[in-house]
């Protein structure tokens, strides 16, 4: 055994050490017996006998005798068994500490509550199966239709929404629980229905928009191509050739959401005659239209993204969207959808914070909930700050959008960039403070962590959106 007081031989049980200290130091703090005086000291000899089997008592007492009163007190305190702490009650998880959503209108609040209940009752129970199977559960489609009727109204649909906060609260609440379901909804109601509402003829609205609003017809939306993503405005290679009253489409599309089971896909193609981008409504059963599901994804596994081949697909003029004359039209629609993605990012981050906090309150290590450790609390607070900022940010975005009627490219791109960056920081912390369980589907955060990568990349990458904002604030285009 070493002579230092704080290096007792590990064989000395704390209880024995404590007892020896109590009977020597605590009973006779000012007149400790020196090793040679042990025979005359008024101490508990049984305890010392037991201790001497495990430690060099002479050396121990010698070291003790060098201590002053304060040092002995501190030592006796340290050896005393800790009183069990009374556990404090765990407060409910609350991700809206600044009451950001307190000022919602009744309709907005009702929408939020309805969607939240729907997600918890219908989608959350199958979320992990969606992930494992890599498929979208089709039995949710009629239920999603009933939800749409309740929170939007099949005859009340407009694009852009006349209440963007209400519409985007839907994305927020969906993404908070299951981001793949949110993408299914967004591709159908914002991208596909949005294109028909914005650019379609009255006849097309009757033929497509009405059944789509009832979810009897599901939409997909195909702009990105295998060889053109960020540069799609310049490089889009799918062609449309007019032959009399017929259009012939050739090319390929990648990533189109819902494409494997959609009834109709909005396909963007370059008119061979004038070089401009045009939009077409392509039904699944058209000869020459082939779709296969993209496999091997690590994010948004419940979304069925399609790789589409268009091999001489013939369409009547009645399937061309007459309201589109160039890429700028598509871009204007995307600005609105991009703002929705910022809401989606805020919802996803909020969900990750809530799940991680609830987990840390339950998870016990060293006899205490992990949420009681200083470093874990620091991370929880960092997450809460970011989540609160995200909520405040998207609510202001919604107010701007409601006031102006449209959000504009710069504002929506800034929203996409910042919200996605912040979401990624939050999910990374959430996943980390859950240890190994943070990568298991069982605890939900793993799915949110991975899905954040899909949200980060779609509706324009970070860099493309940053270039849009950079151009606006500097007056200098840095696009290559
Ligand atoms: C889950 C998911 C769902 C999707 N759903 C749809 C859908 O329904 N319909 C659809 O049409 N598309 C969809 N997309 C496609 C999505 O919009 C594209 O992935 C996105 O636009 C980026 O294109 P890309 O993947 O081809 O990347 P690329 O264009 O190949 O870019 C790769 C990287 O290079 C960077 N980069 C490229 N050019 C520049 C430059 N000039 N300066 C600086 N950096 C640059 C990009 O920012 C990016 O980081 C989806 C994608 C995902 C992941």
Judge if 333 and 469 occupy the same domain: yes
Q: What range defines the domain where residue 355 resides?
A: 327-474
**Is 439 within the bounds of a domain?**
yes
Judge if 185 and 121 occupy the same domain: yes
Domain boundary residue, one of 213, 237, 256: 213
Rounded CA-CA distance 309/294 in Å is 13
Query: Is 129's pLDDT higher than 50?
Result: yes
User: Which atom in ligand 1 lies closest to the alpha carbon of residue 463?
Assistant: 47
Per-residue pLDDT of 80-118, as tens digits, reads 666 666 667 999 999 999 999 999 999 999 999 999 999
Half-sphere exposure for 60 (CA within 13 Å, toward CB): 23
Q: What confidence category does residue 2 fall into, taking pLDDT thresholds of 50, 70 and 90?
A: very low
Q: What confidence category does residue 62 fall into, taking pLDDT thresholds of 50, 70 and 90?
A: confident
**Is 352 within the bounds of a domain?**
yes
**Is 383 within the bounds of a domain?**
yes
Question: Which one of 464, 466, 468 would you pick to mutate in the ligand 1 pocket, going by the greatest count of ligand atoms within 8 A of its CB?
Answer: 464
Nearest residue (by CA) to ligand 1, atom 41, is 480
Judge if 452 and 354 occupy the same domain: yes
Nearest residue (by CA) to ligand 1, atom 43, is 463
Q: Which of 382-386, 407-411, 453-457 has the lowest mean pLDDT?
A: 407-411
291 DSSP β-pair partners: 308
Cβ within 8 Å of residue 317, ≥6 positions away: 245, 246, 247
Judge if 418 and 381 occupy the same domain: yes
Judge if 270 and 232 occupy the same domain: yes
Instruction: Output the pLDDT for position 131.
Output: 97
User: For all residues of the chain together, what is the average pLDDT?
Assistant: 90
Judge if 62 and 179 occupy the same domain: no
**Is 94 within the bounds of a domain?**
no
Q: What confidence category does residue 66 fall into, taking pLDDT thresholds of 50, 70 and 90?
A: confident
CA 449 to ligand 1 center in whole angstroms: 19
Rounded-to-5 percentages of helix, strand, coil across the chain: 55, 10, 30
Rounded CA-CA distance 214/155 in Å is 9
Instruction: Output the pLDDT for position 53.
Output: 79
What percent of the chain shows pLDDT beyond 70? Answer: 87
CA 455 to ligand 1 center in whole angstroms: 11
More confident site: 76 or 464: 464
Instruction: Output the pLDDT for position 67.
Output: 83
**Is 3 within the bounds of a domain?**
no
Judge if 469 and 361 occupy the same domain: yes
Judge if 360 and 416 occupy the same domain: yes
**Is 465 within the bounds of a domain?**
yes
Instruction: Output the pLDDT for position 58.
Output: 77
More confident site: 69 or 324: 324
Judge if 50 and 121 occupy the same domain: no
Per-residue pLDDT of 208-266, as tens digits, reads 999 999 999 999 999 999 999 999 999 999 999 999 999 999 999 999 999 999 999 99
What is the DSSP-derived secondary structure letter of residue 22? I
Q: Single out the residue of 164, 176, 191 nearest to residue 108, CA to CA.
A: 164
As given in the structure block, the two tokens for residue 367 are: 């006899």
Which residue ranges have their beta carbon within 6 Å of ligand 1?
187, 221-224, 229-230, 255-257, 300, 303, 305, 454, 457-458, 460-461, 463-464, 480
What is the three-class DSSP state of 103?
coil
Domain boundary residue, one of 196, 213, 230: 213
pTM for the model = 0.85
Per-residue pLDDT of 392-419, as tens digits, reads 999 999 999 999 888 999 999 999 999 9
Domain boundary residue, one of 79, 98, 123: 79
Instruction: Output the pLDDT for position 73.
Output: 73
Judge if 334 and 458 occupy the same domain: yes
Judge if 114 and 142 occupy the same domain: yes
Per-residue pLDDT of 349-382, as tens digits, reads 999 999 999 999 999 999 999 999 999 999 999 9
Instruction: Output the pLDDT for position 43.
Output: 59
Judge if 196 and 275 occupy the same domain: no
Contact in structure between 238 and 267 (CB atoms under 8 Å): yes
**Is 271 within the bounds of a domain?**
yes
Q: How many domains does the chain have?
A: 4
Rounded CA-CA distance 35/65 in Å is 9
**Is 166 within the bounds of a domain?**
yes
Instruction: Output the pLDDT for position 312.
Output: 98
CA 407 to ligand 1 center in whole angstroms: 22
What's 171's domain CATH number? Answer: 1.10.540.10
């Amino acid at each position: 055994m070493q002579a230092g007081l704080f290096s007792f031989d590990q064989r000395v049980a704390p209880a024995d050490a404590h007892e020896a200290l109590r009977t020597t130091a605590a009973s006779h703090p000012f007149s400790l017996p020196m090793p040679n005086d042990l025979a005359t000291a008024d101490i508990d000899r049984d305890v010392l006998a037991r201790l001497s089997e495990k430690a060099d008592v002479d050396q121990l007492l010698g070291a003790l005798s060098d201590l002053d009163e304060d040092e002995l007190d501190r030592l006796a305190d340290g050896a005393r068994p800790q009183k069990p702490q009374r556990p404090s009650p765990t407060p409910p998880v609350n991700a809206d500490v600044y009451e950001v959503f307190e000022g919602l209108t009744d309709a907005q609040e009702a929408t939020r509550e309805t969607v939240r209940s729907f997600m918890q009752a219908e989608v959350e129970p199958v979320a992990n199966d969606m992930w494992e199977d890599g498929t979208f559960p089709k039995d949710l489609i009629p239920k999603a239709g009933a939800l749409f009727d309740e929170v939007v109204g099949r005859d009340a649909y407009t694009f852009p929404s006349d209440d963007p906060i209400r519409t985007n609260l839907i994305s927020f609440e969906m993404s908070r629980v299951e981001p793949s379901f949110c993408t299914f909804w967004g591709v159908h109601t914002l991208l596909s229905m949005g294109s028909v509402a914005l650019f379609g003829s009255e006849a097309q609205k009757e033929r497509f928009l009405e059944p789509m609003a009832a979810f009897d017809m599901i939409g997909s939306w195909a702009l990105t191509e295998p060889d053109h993503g960020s540069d799609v405005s310049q490089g889009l290679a799918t062609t449309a050739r007019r032959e009399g009253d017929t259009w012939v489409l050739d090319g390929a599309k990648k990533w189109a959401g819902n494409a494997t089971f959609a009834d109709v896909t909005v396909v963007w193609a370059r008119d061979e005659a004038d070089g401009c981008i045009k939009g077409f409504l392509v039904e699944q059963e058209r000869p020459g239209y082939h779709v296969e599901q993209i496999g091997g994804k690590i994010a948004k596994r419940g979304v069925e993204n399609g790789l589409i081949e268009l091999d001489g697909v013939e369409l009547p003029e009645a399937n061309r969207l007459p309201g589109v004359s160039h890429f700028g039209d598509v871009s204007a629609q995307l600005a609105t959808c991009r703002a929705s993605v910022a809401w989606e990012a805020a919802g996803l981050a909020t969900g990750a914070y809530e799940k991680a906090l609830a987990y840390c309150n339950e998870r016990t290590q060293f006899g205490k909930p992990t949420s009681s450790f200083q470093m874990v609390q620091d991370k929880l607070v960092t997450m809460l700050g970011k989540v609160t900022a995200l909520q405040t940010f998207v609510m202001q975005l919604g107010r701007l959008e409601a006031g102006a009627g449209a959000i504009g490219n710069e504002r929506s791109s800034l929203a996409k960039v910042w919200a996605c960056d912040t979401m990624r920081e939050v999910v990374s912390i959430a996943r980390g403070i859950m240890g190994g369980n943070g990568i298991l589907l069982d605890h939900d955060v793993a799915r949110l962590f991975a899905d954040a990568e899909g949200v980060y990349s779609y509706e324009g990458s970070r860099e493309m959106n940053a270039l849009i904002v950079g151009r606006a604030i500097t007056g200098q285009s840095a696009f290559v």
